[in-house]
Amino acid sequence: MEINKIIAAEQGLKEEQVVNAVSLLDEGATIPFIARYRKEVTGSLDDTQLRELSDRLSYLRNLEKRKEEITNSITEQGKMTDELMAAIDKAMTLVEAEDIYMPYKQKRRTRASVAREKGLEPLAELIMAQENTEPDTEAEKYIDEEKELADTAAVLQGAMDIIAEDISDNAELRKYLRTLFTDIGKVVSAAVDESEKTVYDNYYEFSESVSKIAGHRVLAIDRGEKEGKLKVSIVLPEGAGERAVVSRFKKGVGRCAELVELAARDSYKRLIFPSIEREIRNTLSEAAQEGAIKVFSSNLRQLLMQPPVKGKVTLGLDPGYAHGCKCAVVDETGKVLDTTIIYITPPRKDIPKAERIISGFISKYGVTAIAIGNGTASRETEQFAAQLIGKIPQQVSYMVVSEAGASVYSASKLAAEEFPEYDASLRSAVSIARRLQDPLAELVKIDPKAIGVGQYQHDMPKARMDEALSGVVEDCVNSVGVDLNTASYSLLSYIAGISRTIAKNIVTYREENGSFTDRRQLLKVSKLGPKAYEQCAGFLRVRNGKNPLDNTAVHPESYDHAKALLEKCGYSLTDIGALDELPDRAKRIGIKAISEQTGAGIPTLNDIISELIKPGRDPRDELPPPLMRSADIMELKDLKEGMELVGTVRNVIDFGAFVDIGVHEDGLVHISQLADHYVRHPLDVVKVGQIVKVKVLSVDLQKGRISLTMKNVAQ
């Protein structure tokens, strides 16, 4: 297989780009490093393209390996032919390769294998030929009491068992039937117990085309079947499957043709249909899972890349009933200043005391932002905060943040190491405050699956889910970069080339030797060698260090290029941070000319210029800030049809988006209400964290449901 050519054709890339990217991956380069620092080599492939390329590369290499194994096995059996070799070479999927191998695969004992052991294969071949032969007469020759072939009926049945298995093993037939099932098949589900009310009511009498069924429906049906609430099958129009098999193998009329037809029908019902149905179901499930993982990954990326709320002393509130509302004040850097517990709900409700404590915190520490967890008692806590803000002279705003995974983190070993002096509930309040200040730095401490911005995430294949989400976190962390002197080891462990062990060693080195003043000091960290240094150095920032370039995303390998660029444009390293005219000066000289003179590629030069203008820049700062609220809180009953509101997208799923409009319950904008034009998928229109304008369509007070629209609402 010419793997590089295949990938280039499939992904619309030049073969040279693929060859170079594959070479870098094989050398152990990480995807963030290749995407950021090897643009000249790959033609500026981004991290998403590189991950798709890497996934496809793994699949095709596995396919090639499997084809070699199949070829060797068939050859060892002495059954390899030129036609078989050509078919194996041509196979482009694992399914196709396994279909070809099926007749030669070592099988468990089957009805056909038993019949072969009894010597009935010649009779089966004679019947399959469907020539002018009397099979009943031929069958008499095989009657043998010792072989349990008492009469011609038993003999013919054995021969038909062989024919049925041979038909089932036919690769071309299976390929045709898969297409048939996909084109005209339907997914049908029914209730196991119609009298039982479940969340799967919509699927009690459900039928949809295999080719059209949406991924979220497949996942719902799969879960319902797994929980024993639904019966699911793939259905073809009456007799279509059997007719397709019979017409392919039955020739003319006569006794042999009659036996072949019987064997073909048996093959379809007993062997082919269950197998193809299982394959189609698996294909649908895998596609739905990949779709869900893609949506989850996109949501996670947007959530992690939410703009940080910088420079604000923040109060984190972790709401609760019986155990009160846990409070934690953190300074602008996330350092804990104070903690306490207030009671604003029964059974220990004391609003006046709670107001005194919180207003005291606000005055004492200069709190300007409040982060409220969206879990139990969040509604009451939000009301309390809004009312308090309306009473005090200070300018304070609040935001309800997702506390998904906060309890997981607060009870973790990592949280205990970070805050040994606090119990789990107070750690959770700290985490909520920090989530507002820097979502990325805080959320990397939590298993991505626990963050809750997807659908059916707990039904996904764990290894594939972990791989995809870890890739997203890695891309986000590296695109932002981290402060080498303040980053936690959990944040450092997502930097390209740094394992969890090396991340811990960096923190240990920092604790023992003080702050890093130079990127080169990383080479003194235990187990961090030259290769790891090459991969990680550009993503780690050293603020106020010896070399101003250490606080940029300029890689140490390009420092000489950066210095040469500055010199040609009339600057020096000491001017970094005050280089607003650098792009214009470089343009006047000519980027191409500078590239030729310095030996740096044009993409690298452009990146260097961007970094020198804004050293230590955070790409998240260029996004719209999160929507903070003050005292404009409303309740569900306050909503009226036609009311226009501003909200924040909290989650995007296959059938729409959930938007926080400040009434505790998120409203649903169905996919049909996202835009005036046709929307293929909600992700094409909205992203997690996006600020949108919506209009209320309807409110169901009893069920606590809000239907929203973005149609005819100016964004």
pLDDT exceeds 90 at position 278: yes
The DSSP secondary-structure symbol of 305 reads T
138: domain CATH number is 1.10.3500.10
pLDDT exceeds 90 at position 630: no
Q: How far apart (Å, rounded) are the C-alpha atoms in residues 290 and 294? A: 6
pLDDT exceeds 90 at position 663: no
Four-point Cα dihedral 341, 347, 352, 357, nearest 10: 0
Sign of torsion over alpha carbons 9, 11, 13, 17: negative
3-class secondary structure, 188: strand
Contact 436, 402 (CB under 8 A): no
Please check whether residue 420 lies inside any domain of the structure.
Answer: yes
Residue with tokens 């739905």: 288
- For the chain, give the percent of residues with pLDDT over 90: 80
Please check whether residue 451 lies inside any domain of the structure.
Answer: no
- For the chain, give the percent of residues with pLDDT over 70: 99
Alpha carbon separation from 207 to 196, 280, 426, 589 (Å, rounded):
20, 15, 50, 67
Alpha carbon separation from 522 to 158, 478, 505, 508 (Å, rounded):
73, 17, 10, 12
Q: Apex CA 664: angle with CA 393 and CA 384, to 5°?
A: 30
Please check whether residue 715 lies inside any domain of the structure.
Answer: no
How do strand 230-235 and strand 186-191 relate by DSSP bridges?
Answer: antiparallel
653: domain CATH number is 2.40.50.140
Contact 256, 135 (CB under 8 A): yes
pLDDT exceeds 90 at position 100: yes
Same domain, 150 and 211: yes
- Which structure tokens are listed for 182? 């996909």
State which of 268, 295, 322 marks the end of a domain: 295
Q: Please state the three-class secondary structure of 466-498 as a single string.
A: HHHHHHHHHHHHHHHCEECCCCCHHHHCCCCCC
Q: How far apart (Å, rounded) are the C-alpha atoms in residues 608 and 39? A: 13
Question: What is the number of alpha carbons within 13 Å of residue 227 lying toward its C-beta?
Answer: 13
Least confident of 232-246, 284-298, 444-458, 583-597: 444-458
Give pLDDT tens digits for 177-201.
Answer: 999 999 999 999 999 999 999 999 9
The DSSP secondary-structure symbol of 16 reads H
Same domain, 143 and 63: no
pLDDT exceeds 90 at position 423: no
Give pLDDT tens digits for 513-556.
Answer: 999 999 999 999 999 999 999 999 999 999 999 999 999 999 99
pLDDT reported for residue 633: 56
Residue with tokens 């030129």: 82
Same domain, 278 and 354: no
DSSP string, 58-102: HHHHHHHHHHHHHHHHHHHTT---HHHHHHHHH--SHHHHHHHHG
Same domain, 320 and 392: yes
Please check whether residue 537 lies inside any domain of the structure.
Answer: no
Q: How far apart (Å, rounded) are the C-alpha atoms in residues 28 and 44? A: 19
Same domain, 149 and 24: no
Q: How far apart (Å, rounded) are the C-alpha atoms in residues 258 and 250? A: 8
Contacts 24+ apart (CB under 8 A), 280-283: 280/178, 280/181, 280/182, 280/185, 280/210, 280/234, 281/232, 281/234
pLDDT reported for residue 419: 86
Same domain, 261 and 328: no
Same domain, 324 and 412: yes
Give pLDDT tens digits for 335-365.
Answer: 999 999 999 999 999 999 999 999 999 999 9
Please check whether residue 254 lies inside any domain of the structure.
Answer: yes
**Residue 632 banded pLDDT, cuts 50, 70, 90:** low
Q: Which is nearest to 218 in space by CA: 311, 292, 321, 112? A: 292
Considering all CA atoms of the chain, what is the largest pairwise distance in Å, rounded to the nearest integer?
A: 106
Please check whether residue 592 lies inside any domain of the structure.
Answer: no
Please check whether residue 360 lies inside any domain of the structure.
Answer: yes
Q: How far apart (Å, rounded) are the C-alpha atoms in residues 583 and 598? A: 16
What is the number of residues in the chain? 715
The whole domain housing 419 covers 313-446
Least confident of 97-111, 201-215, 354-368, 501-515: 97-111
Same domain, 253 and 132: yes
DSSP string, 213-240: --HHHHHHHHHHHHTTSEEEEEE-STTH
pLDDT reported for residue 350: 96
Q: How far apart (Å, rounded) are the C-alpha atoms in residues 617 and 608? A: 12
DSSP string, 531-569: HHHHHHGGGEE-TT-SSGGGGSS--GGGHHHHHHHHHHT
In the sheet where 336-342 sits, what is the strand order? 336-342, 325-330, 313-318, 367-373, 397-401
- Which structure tokens are listed for 619? 């790409």
Q: Which is nearest to 336 in space by CA: 433, 269, 413? A: 433
State which of 388, 418, 446 marks the end of a domain: 446
pLDDT reported for residue 282: 95
Amino acid type, 366: G
Contacts of 189 (CB under 8 A, 6+ apart): 203, 204, 206, 207, 221, 224, 225, 230, 231, 232, 233
Please check whether residue 234 lies inside any domain of the structure.
Answer: yes
Helix (H) or strand (E) holding 639, with range, is none
391: domain CATH number is 3.30.420.140
φ, ψ (nearest 5 deg) of residue 186:
-130, 145
How would you label 74-89 residue by residue, b for 16+ Cβ within 10 Å and e otherwise? Answer: beeeeebeeebeebbe
Give pLDDT tens digits for 546-596.
Answer: 999 999 999 999 999 999 999 999 999 999 888 989 999 999 999 999 999
- pLDDT, average across residues 198-221: 95
How would you label 7-43 residue by residue, b for 16+ Cβ within 10 Å and e otherwise? Answer: bbeeeebeeebbbbbbebbeeebbbbbbbbbbbebbb
Contact 325, 343 (CB under 8 A): yes
3-class secondary structure, 400: strand
**Residue 631 banded pLDDT, cuts 50, 70, 90:** low
- pTM of the shown model: 0.85
Average pLDDT, the chain: 93
Domain count, the chain: 4
Question: What is the number of alpha carbons within 13 Å of residue 332 lying toward its C-beta?
Answer: 4
Least confident of 159-173, 204-218, 617-631: 617-631
- Residue of 658 and 714 predicted with greater confidence: 658
Four-point Cα dihedral 353, 359, 365, 371, nearest 10: 90
Q: Which is nearest to 710 in space by CA: 629, 650, 647? A: 647
pLDDT exceeds 80 at position 407: no
- pLDDT, average across residues 126-140: 92
State which of 430, 446, 462 marks the end of a domain: 446
Same domain, 194 and 275: yes
Same domain, 213 and 285: yes
Same domain, 284 and 196: yes
Same domain, 194 and 254: yes
Contacts of 284 (CB under 8 A, 6+ apart): 187, 210, 213, 218
Q: At what angle do helices 47-76 and 82-90 cross, to 10 degrees?
A: 160
Give pLDDT tens digits for 136-161.
Answer: 999 999 999 999 999 999 999 999 99
Q: How far apart (Å, rounded) are the C-alpha atoms in residues 580 and 582? A: 6
Contact 650, 611 (CB under 8 A): no
**Residue 29 banded pLDDT, cuts 50, 70, 90:** very high
